[in-house]
Amino acid sequence: MRFLATIGNLIILGFVVYLYAVHGAPKGDADVIALCILIAVPVVNLLALYTGFKTPELLTLELEARKAKLRKQIADANVTTAP
């Protein structure tokens, strides 16, 4: 999946370079902002992919902690309700 994301981001950057080469520099303020966004988004995405940005692991840890808490509550409830 990382490979496909990398290829997609490189395609976007290549497209931006192609547009810049064919049409030249942006002429208006809105075009400059669009160019900055079109360059920044793939670059930030590539940095997040390859610098070890680990937000999904934090989410996974949170979910595991919640599961463990629920398992403990269920086990405690089973102990107290057992005859």
Spell out the per-residue pLDDT of the chain, length 83, in tens: 889 999 999 999 999 999 999 999 888 999 999 999 999 999 999 998 888 766 667 778 888 899 999 999 998 888 777 66
- In three-state form (DSSP H/G/I as H, E/B as E, the rest C), the secondary structure along 46-78 is HHHHHCCCCHHHHHHHHHHHHHHHHHHHHHHHH
- How does DSSP classify residue 1? -
Full-model pTM: 0.58
